[in-house]
Structure 1
Amino acid sequence: MCLIAFAWQAHAEFDLIVAANRDEFHARPTEPAHWWQQPVDVFGGRDLQAGGAWCAADRQGRFAAVTNVREPTREGPARSRGLLVRDYFAARRDAGEWAAHVHETGAEYGPFNLLVGDREQLWFVSNRGPVRKLSLRPGVHAISNGSWGDHWPKTEAAQARLRTRIEAGDLQAESLFTLLADTDTAPRDALPDTGIDTEREHFLSPLFIRSGHYGTRASTVIKRGYDGAVAFHERGFDADAQPTHTIDEHWRSF
């Protein structure tokens, strides 16, 4: 993912609400969200190039999602950050244990921000920035390709809009997909400085990125109730930003 807006224990019915966009090269082979064969009882899309995943949830109510961290000067080989999502479900550890493991081994991976949670806790872990591991308190948050706490236009907009929808009780999947579909670019004087040129920074500033080479490949909406009910919605998009698939899956975690 390259944008994740989420609410943790900030709603009377849903303990977890996620609205996220995955931005990627259109040529990178991808499998839409489905029930995995290995590890079992996990639902999410898969990266067919490196074998990992960007966002998934399982029948136990666990959840994980990852973004890259923009770092133009990074050199040398590194493990795919998508494996942090896949291996969390394979390890069968609770979120706190996996967060501690990733905190210790994070240097092996490309620059990442990871959200990892279960029914009791939600953690942020990164191998970049001043905040490397954080047990999240109830609230509405958003992360993208910077450090925890960075005030990017897209994260500020996504966080504010998700909070507004929660306050209005407007949490239908269609409303959250509309939130994610915003293609407006940020004002140039509000752009972050991540080491790339201004034109590319401007191109990457919308919530939904549209181009024939690189852009938003999938939007994901997840709602998990305090009663364990999970709703997982995914929309895929082609290089023209036209929908390729719509997936709606529901289950009750145990």
Structure 2
Amino acid sequence: MCLLFVYINPDPKEGEYKVILVNNRDEFYSRPTKPAYFWDSGILGGADMYTGREGGTWLGMTENGNIACLLNILKPREEFMKDGAARGFLGYGLISDTDPLFWTLVVNQRAPV
């Protein structure tokens, strides 16, 4: 099971964190990944390096504070992404696009009802 913990400090003092974000990626331990780093696009996050799925992420953040986190879905991938697309690109697309609402609409149009 993937877990996400978010703490937002409503009144951070100097030297205190504004946001604490902890994520457990429940995946195969042998799945190749890159640890968190700043991508050329300005995103801070790990990267999936699984062959054919390279470049997606399960947790990413932009410098302006947009955050995307991918958690488990309780259906087989084939039932919700008929074209076989990797889920890791959902979060990447959301935080890398200049208009998150547009990206949400694009994903919604691709998703089966």
Instruction: Tell me the TM-score normalized by structure 1.
Output: 0.35
Equivalent residue for 2:26? 23
Mapped partners of 1:57, 1:65: distance in 2 = 9
Instruction: Tell me the TM-score normalized by structure 2.
Output: 0.71
**Higher strand fraction (1 or 2):** 1
Query: Greater CA radius of gyration, 1 or 2?
Result: 1
Mapped partners of 2:102, 2:35: distance in 1 = 25
Give the Å deviation of 1:4: 0.8
Question: What are the within-5 Å matches in structure 2 for residues 1-254 of structure 1?
Answer: 2-8=2-8, 11-13=10-12, 16-37=19-40, 40-49=41-50, 50=53, 51-72=55-76, 74-75=78-79, 76-94=82-100, 97-98=101-102, 100-101=104-105, 104-105=108-109, 107=111
Q: Deviations over 1:54-76 (max 9, x none)?
A: 11112112211111212259545
Q: Is the 8 A contact 1:68 1:81 kept in 2?
A: no
Q: Percent identity?
A: 30
Aligned amino acid, residue 91 of structure 1:
D
Q: Deviations over 1:18-41 (max 9, x none)?
A: 22111111222111111112xx21
| Unmatched segments (≥5 aa) in structure 2 | none
Q: Is the 8 A contact 2:43 2:96 kept in 1?
A: no
Instruction: Report the secondary structure of 2:70's partner residue.
Output: strand
- RMSD between superposed Cα atoms in Å: 2.9
Mapped partners of 2:70, 2:58: distance in 1 = 5
Mapped partners of 1:47, 1:88: distance in 2 = 16
Instruction: Report the secondary structure of 1:12's partner residue.
Output: coil
| Runs (4+) off by over 4 Å | 72-77
Mapped partners of 1:4, 1:67: distance in 2 = 8
Q: Number of residue pairs matched?
A: 104
Which deviates the most, 63-72 or 45-54?
63-72
Aligned amino acid, residue 28 of structure 2:
F
